């Protein structure tokens, strides 16, 4: 019997699901979230009428919302046939490096578990690694995931077929990131803020006063949260100096904690 859960993902079941998948599934659809932060609350809201099997953050963390033998509400007429994964970010930006690696790992797992073909799909009747937009009106008439991300499918497929990049320890996903301190701005700050929200359980985009808005501005709240993480002695990584500055040691600790969470929660 084929697996219904992806082992590295944090399981967070949602109510927006119905019906069973047509087996075997055809492959993977990597959607673009057009936003930031966990989609659990939105997909667990019956009024939203949407969901996906998986969600992949910019920092490389997976959440699973719908078992693979059940239909997620992601691409209308394509729902019975394709596994769906929402990917944090926007159509106008590329995947992060770790997102590309995680999607390749997921697709390689799917090839082994479900027999997905090592192909690029551009038709609902195809197999392999597809896009939401290939379904046209029957799939909702979306442009998802945009040209930038759609054009990365060859890279993802290449990695899934055995590129050495897949052997990198996921705990070292942030190696080489710049040192960030109060006043810093940009995409690296957004990634840091999203990772902190995941670690401290404040991923939900609405209704949580303790959530850091991932706005790319390293302000006092981000400084305080970084210091809290530095003081936190996780089972996978000890303490680092609690100066509120995200340097190599703190980045490494974040990678260790996130990887440990994904394996145990």
Q: Do 246 and 132 share a structural domain? A: no
What's the confidence (pLDDT) of residue 205? 66
Residue 1 lies in a domain: no
Q: 143 and 107, same structural domain?
A: yes
In the prediction, which pLDDT does 153 show? 95
Residue 102 is assigned to a structural domain of this protein = yes
Read off the pLDDT of residues 120-149 as tens digits, 9 standing for 90 and up.
Answer: 999 999 999 999 999 999 999 999 999 999
Alpha helices in the chain (DSSP H): 40-43, 97-114, 147-150, 153-160, 187-199, 220-231, 248-264
Q: How many domains does the chain have?
A: 2
Position 228 in a domain = yes
Number of C-beta neighbours around residue 131 at 10 A? 23
Q: Does residue 240 lie in a domain region?
A: yes
CA distance 137 to 207: 34
Both 162 and 180 in one domain: the answer is no
- Omega within 30 of 0 (cis) for the link into 145: yes
Alpha-carbon gap, residue 166 to 100, rounded angstroms: 10
In-domain check, residue 87? yes
End position of a domain, from candidates 167, 202, 229: 167
180 and 158 fall within a common domain: no
Tokens of 234: 């996780």
Residue 265, pLDDT score: 29
Q: Is the same domain home to 134 and 224?
A: no
Do residues 179 and 240 both lie within one domain? Answer: yes
Domain boundary among 139, 167, 195: 167
Mean pLDDT of all residues belonging to the chain? 89
- At residue 33, the pLDDT reads 96
Residue 69 and residue 17 share a domain: yes
Is 216 in the same domain as 254? yes
What digits encode the pLDDT tens for the residues 8-51? 888 999 999 999 999 899 999 999 999 998 999 999 999 999 99
Q: Are residues 111 and 195 in the same domain?
A: no
- Residues in Cβ contact with 91 at an 8 Å cutoff, skipping those fewer than 6 apart: 32, 34, 143, 144, 145, 146, 148, 149
For residue 3, tell me if it sits in a domain: no
Cα gap 59→174, rounded to integer Å: 8
Q: Are residues 95 and 180 in the same domain?
A: no
Q: Who wins on pLDDT, 48 or 263? A: 48
**Average of per-residue pLDDT across 187-200:** 87
Question: Does one domain contain both 28 and 131?
Answer: yes
Whether residues 28 and 116 share a domain: the answer is yes
Instruction: Name 83's bridge partners.
Output: 28
Q: Identify the domain containing residue 155 by its residue range.
A: 10-167
The answer to whether the predicted template modeling score (pTM) of the entire model surpasses 0.75 is no
pLDDT at 78 over 90: yes
CATH of the domain at 204: 1.10.101.10
Q: What is the pLDDT of residues 212-253, one digit of tens each?
A: 988 999 999 999 999 999 998 776 677 789 999 999 999 999
Write the CATH number for 118: 3.40.80.10
3-state secondary structure string across 64-110: ECCCCCEEECCCHHHCCCEEEEEECECCCCCCCHHHHHHHHHHHHHH
Q: Is residue 72 part of a domain?
A: yes
């Amino acid at each position: 019997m084929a697996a219904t859960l992806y082992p590295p993902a944090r399981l967070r079941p949602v109510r927006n699901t119905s019906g069973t998948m047509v087996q075997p599934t055809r492959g993977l659809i990597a959607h673009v979230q057009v936003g930031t932060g966990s989609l659990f609350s939105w997909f667990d809201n019956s009024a939203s009428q949407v969901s996906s099997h998986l969600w992949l953050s910019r920092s490389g963390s997976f959440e699973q919302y719908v078992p693979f033998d059940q239909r997620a509400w992601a691409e209308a007429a394509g729902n019975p046939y394709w596994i769906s994964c929402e990917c944090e970010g926007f159509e106008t930006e590329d995947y992060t490096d770790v997102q590309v690696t995680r999607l390749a790992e997921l697709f390689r797992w799917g090839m082994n578990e479900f027999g997905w073909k090592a192909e690029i799909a551009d038709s609902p009747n195809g197999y392999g690694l597809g896009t939401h937009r290939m379904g046209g009106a029957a799939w909702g008439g979306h442009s998802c995931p945009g040209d930038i991300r759609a054009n990365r499918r060859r890279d993802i497929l290449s990695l899934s077929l055995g590129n050495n990049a897949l052997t990198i320890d996921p705990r070292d996903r942030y190696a080489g990131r710049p040192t960030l301190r109060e006043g810093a701005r940009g995409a690296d700050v957004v990634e840091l803020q999203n990772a902190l929200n995941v670690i401290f359980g404040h991923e939900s985009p609405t209704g949580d006063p303790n959530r850091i808005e991932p706005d790319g501005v390293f302000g006092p709240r981000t400084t305080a949260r970084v210091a809290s993480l530095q003081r936190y002695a996780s089972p996978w990584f000890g303490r680092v100096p609690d100066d509120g500055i995200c340097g190599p040691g703190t980045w490494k600790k974040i990678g260790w904690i996130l990887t440990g969470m994904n394996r145990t929660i």
